[in-house]
Structures are given as C-alpha cells and as structure tokens.
Amino acid sequence: MVSRRERATKIVATLGPASSSPDKIKALYEAGVDVFRLNFSHGTQENHGRVLGIVRALESEVGRPIGVLADLQGPKLRLGKFVDGFINLTAGTTIRFDADPAPGNERRVSIPHPEILEALHEGSTVLLDDGKVRVRVVKTGPGYIDAEVVAGNRLSNNKGFNVPDVLLPVSALTDKDRSDLFFALDLGVEWIALSFVQRPEDVLEAKELIQGRAQINLKLEKPKAVEHLTRLTELSDSIMVARGDLGVELSLPEIPALQKRVIRESRRLGKPVIVATQMLESMISAPVPTRAEVSDVATAVYDGADAVMLSAESAAGQYPVEAVAMMDQIIKQVERDPGYRAIMESQRPSGGHSVADAVTQAAYQAALSVDAAAIVTYTLSGTTTLHAARERPRIPIIGIASQLTTARRLVLSYGVHVVHAPEEIHTFGEMATKATHTTVEHGFAKKGDLIAITAGVPFATPGTTNVMRLVTIDKAMLSRKPPGASKADAPTPRAAASKARSGGAVRSKPVKTTAE
C-alpha cells in the first residue's frame, strides 16, 4: 500500500459510475489520487453518501488522510423546448427569446428565466450550446429580447446559454445547491466547491451558510469573477481554474495566460489552486492520451499548480485508473526536470510581513543551507503548513496536524505529506521528538539527518507560527518515546472508519514506507 507520494503536485479525481466501487476507489488511490471529488451535478445524495463512506473506510485502511471535495452544481441556465426538438438557424436572421413556456421554432424560443431577460441589453452577447451558437441582442422589450444570429446553425431542446458580459441577477446557490450543501456538510466533507461565482458577495453568502464546517473552493468559471480575482481569492480557501466554462465565455486564446495569472495570485496569497477540465479528455475512451494533453498537464505543473484534476476521465471513462497513473507519471517527469525547479524558485512570491511569513522563509532558507531532509510543520488550523507550501520548496514538507479535518484539507496542498497526530504537544522537546519519529517512520529521514521544524507557541493556538528550530536526528532523539506512544493501539480499521463517519478523530497509523 502506498504510504507516500514521490511528487509534490497533487491529483484530484472525480468519482462516478466508472469509479464508485470499493475496489475501484482503492485502485485510484493506489494509482495516485490524493483528493476525491463528488460531483453533485450528477448522481443522488444517497449515492454520494455511500461513496464517501467507501473513501472513509479506505482512509482508515491505509492509515493516511484522504481529502474529499463536494462540487455543487450551481445555476444551470437553459433554453426551453422546440416544437420539432430542434431548429436550424441562419446567420443574419433574428430570433426572439421570451418567457413564454410554449415550445419554440425558428422565430422564437423560451428562456424560463425572466430575470435574465431583464438583465440583458442591446449589444449583449448570448452564447448557446457551449458557444456553438452565438447571438447578439439587437432589441429589448418587456419580457423579451430580439437577437441577431452571429454564428452557428443547429439548436436543440434545453441547451444551456451563457451571458459573458453581463452581471446576472442570480445567486450562485440554487435550492438544489443549498440542499446538497447541507447534506455534504453533514457528511463531513473537507471542501465545498462553488460554481457560478460572479462577485465577492456570492462567496460571503456561502460562508454564512457553511459556518466554518468546511473550506470553500472557488471555481473560477465566469469572466465577471476574474474582475474580482484578488478579493475572491482572499475570501476563499482554494481556487479551481475551471477552464471548460471559462473557455465558453472567454476567447480560448485568453485561457493560458489567465491560468498562469490565477496560479500566481493563489500562490502569493498562500491558497491551494487546482487546474481542471479536459486535462486527459481522450482517455475517456482511449488507453493513452494525446501529446497535446500530456503537454497541457505538464504546463499546469510547470505553472506551479497545487493540484491537477480529472473529471469525466475518472468518473465515466473506460480507463479511470490508467488516467490517474498517466497523470502521476507526467507530474513526476516534470518535477524531475531541473528547469522546473528553476521556475519554482524564480516565481517565489515576495515575502509577507507577518511573523509567520518571516519564520517560514527563515526555515526554508535554513533547511537549504544545512541540506535538511524535510521541513516539519506543526499545525492546528493548517496555516503553518500553507505558509510552507507557498514557498514550493524542493524539500518535502511534513504537515503534522492535530485535527483530522485539518489533515484532510492539507492533502490538497503542494508538497505536503500530511500526518494526523492527535496527541497534545506541550514542550519543545515533545515537538522535536514527535517530528523526529514521524520523519523516520514515514521514510523522509534517517539517523544523522537534519530537519527544520516550524510551529506556533503557545501550542494548539491557531495562526501563531512563530518558532523555527533545526534538529539533528540522533540515537538519543530516536530513543525517546514520542507523545502518545504509551497509549492504547489505534482502533481497528472498521472501528476507525465508523468513528470517522460519525465525525470522531481517527489517528493515522504508522505505515511502512514504500515507493509508488
């Protein structure tokens, strides 16, 4: 069983019909998945609950924290139906959009969203069927708009539509989303992914509902959200570059530069960032990807993303495990490239002005100077470890988290090998002893090596990173019992899984380290 990854960039994989059995989920984890995504645009709440139970049981079996991201559907704006099921449009002709639910034809079609009709104005662009049909508003009136067909021809029932240049008067959370949100929170997921975010108020609305029970992953998919990138990144806990939807509402040549910009901003603010959508799309039906897809994944890694994500490839494709294994191989190959390390160093964000920033940067520089085997971070809320991950160090980060929820959240972060250790730390000596035993047990260091430790004092106080210490792993250090060593053995996998599902803490068992 895998106990550590030989790479820093993480893999997120979506679970679905092709990957919802215990054996398949275990195979995906062994192939390299760090965080599993539950896509609430598909499937039932009951099924998502069942799948999460499988993930939690697997977590207990392998003795390693596994993160879970619940992705809310968000508003889906769709046209009504046509008398014949479809129409053929001609460029230069005009078609009316109104709120009448009657089936449409070549002259008119229903948009069952009156508020959208009111928000559009003359000159607005409307994209239909993922941008395959493009129209421009030429006239507005009470309850309707007339639009000229600019491009495209065939349009069928219930196709989606996008309005890229208008702030739509629509909440990012529908009634379905609210139901799914509270269901996911009750399940105990670590991340809630928000769709259709247009402005900071959308995130604030979600935070009010979540009340700290999970962290927010903001899916950047609307051009209006890009206008508020810095503020939205500050308000969120992580970002997803959702390139599929962005590619509909923005011109495709804009996407690569925007991807790099979002990654830089997320790294500057110390927030994990995921690059998603169509990364290995051809592997839905083929055992190998295209060369362009391999380059796409590699580019995201070179850009410094915390994680790359598989969607339909792992949820509904014919080769889900192979897709994960391929992504794992691509990441490893990139991270072995000397040029990759040069890029990470050249793009390091300028240092912040907090004590935590100063301590983290000092720890990284000290670790490099003495050729330390690892940087060990003690954290309650995750902040200490996130500061270390922002540096994109060439040295492994061991994130020791006292809270299981924090441990699962940190799995998403760049270069972090997370260890859940619920034992309380009271002194520097206990801290050093725990760090020493952990790095040795998990295969990151051996006797004679140096490790750099960062923590906050007083211990168990969130957001107080203020201590850095270099420790040599020697015989005397290894002979000391780490905190909690004299306590009863960890619970059995079945008992631990049950406790995890009920919200109780599960201690990660020491696992013999093996290469992937």
Q: Which are the catalytic amino acids?
A: 37, 78, 219, 277
Coil, strand, or helix at residue 130?
A: coil
144-171 burial: b if 16+ Cβ within 10 Å, else e: bbbbebeebeebebebebbbbebebebb
Return d(Cα 360, Cα 54) in angstroms, integer: 37
Retrieve residue 216's tokens: 């927010």
Coil, strand, or helix at residue 138?
A: strand
DSSP state of 508: P
User: Helices 22-31 and 320-336 sit at what angle, rounded to 10 degrees?
Assistant: 10
Distance, CA of 9 to chain centre: 12
DSSP state of 282: G
Q: 481 exposed, middle or buried (CB, 10 Å; 0-12, 13-18, 19+)?
A: exposed
Please name the residue ranges forming H helices in 188-290: 200-210, 223-226, 229-235, 243-249, 255-268
Q: What is the DSSP string of 201-219?
A: HHHHHHHHHHTTSSEEEEE
Return d(Cα 265, Cα 37) in angstroms, integer: 24
The amino acid at residue 275 is V
Residue 91's Cβ-side half-sphere holds a number of Cα atoms within 13 Å equal to 6
Please name the residue ranges forming H helices in 43-90: 45-62
Q: In 3D, which of 171, 242, 246 has the Cα closest to residue 204? A: 171
Residue 306's Cβ-side half-sphere holds a number of Cα atoms within 13 Å equal to 35
Cβ-based neighbour number of residue 369 at 10 Å? 11
Return d(Cα 216, Cα 252) in angstroms, integer: 27
Cα dihedral 9, 15, 17, 18 sign = positive
Coil, strand, or helix at residue 152?
A: coil
**Residues 6+ away with beta carbon under 8 Å from 7:** 328, 331, 332, 335
